[in-house]
Amino acid sequence: MPSVVYKFGGTSLGSAECIQKVCDIIYADEPSFVVLSAIAGVTDMLESFYASSAQERLSLLRDLQKKHEAIVRDLNVPFPVSSWISRLFPYVNQQHLSVADRANILALGEDIAVSLVKAVCRSRSLNIQSLEARDVILTDDNYSRATPDLSLMRRSWKDRQLSANTSYIIQGFIGASQAGETTILGRGGSDYTAALIAEICNASEVRIYTDVSGVYTMDPKVVENAQRIPELSFEEMQNLARFGAKVLYPPMLSPCMRAGIPIFVTSTFHSTQEGTWIYAIEREESLEPKITALSLRQNQSLCSIDFSSLDQGMDELVYKLHSLGIFPELITTQNHTCSFILDNEGSSSEKLQSLQHALSTFRVVRLHHDMALITIVGSGLSCPKVMSTMMEGLHLQVAPLFCSQSSKVLSFAVMSSCAESIIAQLHNDFVKQDI
């Protein structure tokens, strides 16, 4: 019988009631593998712990302990919260924590979640065993955004004696270098873990459990009348995830695409099992423009640089930007001017200042912060009338400051302050309709 991989995110583990619901699903379905994120809010608390002073860290330790103790009390299972939290004690008074320390600190959230859910499942006589992520997700030594080594993982997997009649529970988000040191896959990396496990065990399906019943035409928190999409191609989901849709972590799609494994996104909390299937679909190229879904990415910067003085033109410009740690997206050029988007999500004001300093070595034509990137995914979007029709419908007097257009993806930048109202109107006017 083919393996099935289930993944439960942090919102699915946010309370005792949520955890009981997760255990109900595991008990009913007996999936081959269960991948877990940290309990909702815990990774953020651990990030704060890493970045704080000693006094603040002690306060955060108490908060972490209280948060987990409250859930354990409501679950009514024996669980050593204090013992787990004590693993952070060695870091409290350290002034300079390394990136390796950060990986160890952040991994604690997933370690606790797996141990706790396993304890609840065991209390219900479910045959479930732990599978240590550090023994399975083998990576390079980039502690903050590790790259999995698939050949090593496959060799390691072949040596495992796993029972077909047992469910295995594993931490998402974390792995280990060849030296055995903890690494992390990046925020949202639990999705990636599930996809990697599915690829190496040749699973028939990856099921992502979250707090919404699938992928929607736009984030329902921004657009109330967003509609659930029954199915998407890998390419469509890749474009949505890349440009702001939070429902899936973009790198998770690659393993599933390589192995041809379908993904089903559904809700932990709605028993109807409605959701969105994501798999390889060959769609006919539409001549008429159609919008499948929209996404929004806030906290962007728009930069335009004159590269006419550079001997090797654009190639030299991109090389210099990369050497400064600047990774432009959606590059467009016109008359020796290069325009691009920079994603500043999670960036501090200090990081933005260093970005501005780095860019000062170039002939910057313009630099706008507080921008948002609106992306439309569909077909026939390179048609010239698409942008003009939308502008007319939005009553925009001037064109957006930046636009990148292809047949399947159209992205444009607007001021953050008006982005949500623009995307809501676009959704109401054009989604599922011919433009």
205 and 181 co-located in one domain:
yes
Over the chain (435 residues), the average pLDDT of each successive run of 10 is 91 96 95 97 96 93 97 96 96 94 98 98 93 97 94 93 91 96 92 97 96 93 93 94 87 95 94 87 75 92 83 78 80 84 72 70 79 90 75 60 78 89 89 62
The domain that contains 383 carries what CATH number? 3.30.2130.10
What residue numbers bound the domain in which 362 lies?
A: 290-430
In a domain, 284, yes or no: no
Answer with the one of 279, 302, 327 that is the final residue of a domain. Answer: 279
298 and 268 co-located in one domain:
no
The reported pLDDT for the residue numbered 368 is 85
Answer with the one of 279, 313, 342 that is the final residue of a domain. Answer: 279
The reply, when asked if residue 139 is annotated as ligand binding, is: no
268 and 415 co-located in one domain:
no
228 and 331 co-located in one domain:
no
The reply, when asked if residue 9 is annotated as ligand binding, is: yes
The reported pLDDT for the residue numbered 290 is 84
In a domain, 164, yes or no: yes
In a domain, 411, yes or no: yes
Q: Residue with structure tokens 């988007």?
A: 341
107 and 129 co-located in one domain:
yes
The reply, when asked if residue 247 is annotated as ligand binding, is: yes
The two tokens of residue 410 are 């159209």
Distance of CA 192 to the CA centre of its chain: 9
For 137-158, how does the pLDDT look when each residue is reduced to its tens digit (9 = 90+)? 999 999 999 999 999 999 999 9
126: left (phi over 0), alpha (psi -120 to 50) or beta: beta
The reply, when asked if residue 7 is annotated as ligand binding, is: yes
The two beta strands, 205-210 and 263-267, are: parallel
Contact 142, 149 (CB under 8 A): no
In a domain, 202, yes or no: yes
The reported pLDDT for the residue numbered 350 is 65
20 and 102 co-located in one domain:
yes
In a domain, 253, yes or no: yes
End-to-end CA distance of the chain: 46
Nearest-CA neighbor of 71 among 47, 39, 41, 43?
39
363 and 411 co-located in one domain:
yes
| HEC secondary structure over the chain | CCCEEEEECHHHHCCHHHHHHHHHHHHHHCCCEEEECCCCCHHHHHHHHHHCCHHHHHHHHHHHHHHHHHHHHHHCCCCCHHHHHHHHHHHCCCCCCCHHHHHHHHHHHHHHHHHHHHHHHHHCCCCEEECCHHHHCEECCCCCCCCECHHHHHHHHHCCCCCCCCEEEEECCEEECCCCCEEECCCCHHHHHHHHHHHHCCCCEEEEEECCCCCECCCCCCCCCCCECCEEEHHHHHHHHHCCCCCCCHHHHHHHHHHCCCEEEEECCCCCCCEEEEECCCCCCCCCCEEEEEEEEEEEEEEEEECCCCCCHHHHHHHHHHHCCCCCEEEEEECCEEEEEEECCCCCHHHHHHHHHHHCCCEEEEEEEEEEEEEEEEECCCCCHHHHHHHHHHCCCCCCCEEEECCCEEEEEEEHHHHHHHHHHHHHHHECCEC
197 and 54 co-located in one domain:
yes
Contact 242, 404 (CB under 8 A): no
271 and 327 co-located in one domain:
no
Instruction: Say how many C-beta atoms besides its own lie within 10 A of residue 152's C-beta.
Output: 14
55 and 85 co-located in one domain:
yes
Answer with the one of 249, 279, 309 that is the final residue of a domain. Answer: 279
How far apart CA 38 and CA 229 sit, in angstroms, is: 28
Contact 424, 209 (CB under 8 A): no
The reported pLDDT for the residue numbered 406 is 81
Q: What is the pTM (predicted TM-score) of this model?
A: 0.89
- Considering its fold, how many domains does the chain have in total? 2
The reply, when asked if residue 29 is annotated as ligand binding, is: no
The reply, when asked if residue 210 is annotated as ligand binding, is: yes
314 and 353 co-located in one domain:
yes
The domain that contains 133 carries what CATH number? 3.40.1160.10
In a domain, 173, yes or no: yes
116 and 189 co-located in one domain:
yes
The reply, when asked if residue 8 is annotated as ligand binding, is: yes
For 380-395, how does the pLDDT look when each residue is reduced to its tens digit (9 = 90+)? 887 777 777 777 767 6
In a domain, 165, yes or no: yes
